[in-house]
Amino acid sequence: MDITRLLRFDRRRLLFRNRSLKTSIKQMMQALNGRMGMTRTATQQGKVGLKGAAGALSGTESID
């Protein structure tokens, strides 16, 4: 397997992993929002906080 194919496969896997992480964060926020009846602004702040926490866990600044 040559390097370009390996890189392409790896990039696709990383994109998929990020996407699944993003959707799980979104689902967590929706569940929290439904349970506590937060306002929209509080939900936005929570999303930013979760993004930062996930970034700290993965060793990066943020998830784009």
Mean pLDDT value of segment 16-44: 67
Residue with tokens 């390996």: 6
Task: Check residues 4 and 46 and name the one with the higher pLDDT.
Answer: 4
Mean pLDDT value of segment 38-62: 57
Q: Are 51 and 63 in contact (CB under 8 A)?
A: yes
CA pair distance 23, 36, nearest whole angstrom: 20
Average predicted confidence (pLDDT) for the chain: 64
Q: Above 50 in pLDDT, residue 62?
A: no
**Please, which residues have CB within 8 angstroms of residue 28's CB and are 6 or more apart in sequence?**
50
